[in-house]
Amino acid sequence: MAKAKKKDEKKEKKDLQEKYDELLEELTSKDDEIKSLKEDLEKQKDETQEYVSLSQRLQADFENFKKITDKRNKEIIKFANEDIIKKILDCYEDFERALEIENDEDLREGIENIYNKFTKVLADEGVEQIPAKGEKFDIDKHEALMVQESEDVENGYVIDELMKGYTYKDKVLKYSKVIVCKK
C-alpha cells in the first residue's frame, strides 16, 4: 500500500509539475503579450502626440491665414473705389476748367461734355437710370410723391418724374420720385 501511495504521490507531483509548467508557460505568454501591448501603447502615444502637434500647427497656420486674409480684404475694401474716384476726378477737373470760361456758349458746351462724361462713367460702372414718365407705376422702382387725375394718362401710370431714380447692377440705388395718375 505504501507503494501505491508513493506512486499516487509521484503521479500527483508529476501532474502538479505539468500544471505548474503549463501555468508558467501561460504566464510567460501573458507577460510577452503585456510587453507587446505596452509597446503598442507607447507607439499609439507617440502617434497621438504627433497628431496633436500637427493639429496645433495647422490651427496656428489657419489663424495666420485668417489674419492675412482679413488684412487683404480690408485693403481691397479700402481701395475698392479707387478706379471710379479717378474717373470722377477727371470730371471734377473738367468742371473746374468749365468754371474758368467766361463765354456762356462755351460754358454750356463744357458742361454738356462733363455731363456726357459722367453719364459714360456711371454706365461703365453699371449705373442705369430708371425709366419713369409714361411707365406703369412700380413700387419696386418708383416712389409716389403725389397722385393726380389726368385725361392723357392711364390710371396707375406715371404722369411726371420729379426726381430721377437709378439702379446699380440690378439693385435700386435711388427710387424715382413720381406723380402717379389716379382716376
Domain count within the chain:
3
pTM value? 0.56
**One domain, residues 64 and 95:** no
Grouping H, G, I as helix, E, B as strand and the rest as coil, residue 149 is coil
- What's the rounded mean pLDDT across residues 149-167? 93
**One domain, residues 2 and 61:** yes
Q: Quickly count helices (H) and strands (E) in the chain.
A: 3, 6
Query: Residue 108 and residue 161: Cα distance in Å, rounded?
Result: 24
Whichever domain contains 148, its CATH number is 2.30.22.10
**One domain, residues 135 and 177:** yes
- What's the rounded mean pLDDT across residues 68-90? 86
Structural domain containing residue 34: 1-80
Q: Label residue 61 by pLDDT band (50, 70, 90).
A: very high
**One domain, residues 132 and 67:** no
**One domain, residues 6 and 69:** yes
Residue that the C-alpha cell 503598442 belongs to: 40
pLDDT in tens, 19-31: 988 988 999 999 9
Q: What residues contact residue 123 under an 8 Å CB cut-off, 6+ apart?
A: none
Query: Residue 181 and residue 12: Cα distance in Å, rounded?
Result: 121
**One domain, residues 69 and 16:** yes
Sheet holding 165-168: strands in order across?
127-130, 165-168, 171-174
Strand 127-130 relative to strand 176-181: parallel, antiparallel, unpaired?
A: unpaired
Q: Label residue 1 by pLDDT band (50, 70, 90).
A: low
Residue that the C-alpha cell 496633436 belongs to: 52
pLDDT in tens, 174-183: 999 999 999 8
**One domain, residues 4 and 58:** yes
**One domain, residues 96 and 117:** yes
**One domain, residues 116 and 142:** no
Cβ–Cβ under 8 Å, residues 111 and 91: no
**One domain, residues 48 and 121:** no
**One domain, residues 70 and 5:** yes
Which amino acid type is present at position 38?
A: K
**One domain, residues 14 and 86:** no
